[in-house]
Amino acid sequence: MTASSTPSPLRSRRPSGRTATGEAHRLLPRPALVIVTVILCAMVLVPTLYIVLASLNSDVGVASGEFWPSSFSLDSYTQIWTTADLATGLVNSMIVCALVAIASALLGTMTAYVLVRYTFTGRLSILRGLVGLQSIPGTLMLLPVFVLFSSAGNYLGVTVVGTRWGLFLAYLTFALPFSTWVMVTYLRGLPRELEEAGRMDGASTVRILVRIIIPLSLPAIVVSGIFAFLLGWNDVLFASVLTRPETQTAAVALSTFSATQEGGAIPVYSQVMAAALVSAAPVVLLYLLFQRYLVGGLTAGGVK
């Protein structure tokens, strides 16, 4: 009795299945994929490395074109607090952007819940309007917003231009449509059975929203809040028009500091790099703290 030399069907199919799966998911050949990955990483890491090294170098060394500092020093990080007035800008940015993030996330969640769970006249028009508002460039809204805020101060006797809450209203105007649309997309995927179970237990609409909808929508709420925070943190155009030196944001302080040093005998490039890193640190910390929720909120609804 001889043993059969025919391979098992299961064993013969398994390698081919793995190969087919690998080829199906691989968009580029492995050498090209490695090259593209290295190029993309270098495009991000090389400028970041240069900023870090320049912030640790002296102003003369950076102006002379040194990539690697001849001597490392932290003097630029101590000087920017007096030369760039960065502390005031960071405090103003944190206050305004945090309030915008919280308000847009909460208001967007409540608005999206009404748009998704209730049917009324004009509902589709509101949803289409939210998409249309995202296509309007912010530069076109600068003059109308400034005139509107100035008119409010003249007719109502309330100072809007130059205050933190005026800047808060401007940022909320642009952040709220995006936050609402993010929450609409997320809430469409939540099962209605959870809300029906809550109503059977005697819960009101507000209690369902607070106890069921908001906890389940936390990843999307974090995503909308972070994007609203970044909208205000990175803005220079509206902040430079709607603020004064006491209420200017970090972005305005950084751009003003960079512009005032262009005509100097020795531009303080090292201090500019240090100020840029300090201004970017809160955003990086925000991503690290909410990374888990951010990834879950961005991928939610991608697979049904």
pLDDT digits (tens, 9 = 90+) for 163-211: 898 899 999 988 998 899 888 988 888 888 888 888 888 888 888 888 8
In angstroms, the first-to-last Cα distance of the chain is: 54
Asked whether residue 215 is assigned to any structural domain, the reply reads yes
Residue 64 domain-assigned (yes or no): no
Residue 120 in contact with residue 277, Cβ under 8 Å? no
Q: Is residue 90 part of a domain?
A: yes
Kindly indicate the confidence band of residue 154, based on its pLDDT and cuts at 50, 70 and 90: confident
pLDDT number for residue 264: 54
pLDDT at 25: 53
In a domain, 218, yes or no: yes
- Give me the CATH number covering residue 292: 1.10.3720.10
Whether 136 maps to a domain, the answer reads yes
Structural domain for 110, as ranges: 78-299
Q: Is residue 54 assigned to a domain?
A: no
Q: What's the CA dihedral at 175, 180, 181, 185 to 10 degrees?
A: 140
Query: What total number of domains does the chain contain?
Result: 1
Q: What is the pTM of this model?
A: 0.79
54 vs 7, residue with greater confidence: 54
* Residue 28 domain flag: no
Domain membership of residue 273 (yes or no) is yes
Looking at every residue in the chain, the average pLDDT score rounds to: 81
pLDDT per residue as tens digits for the range 233-242: 999 989 988 8
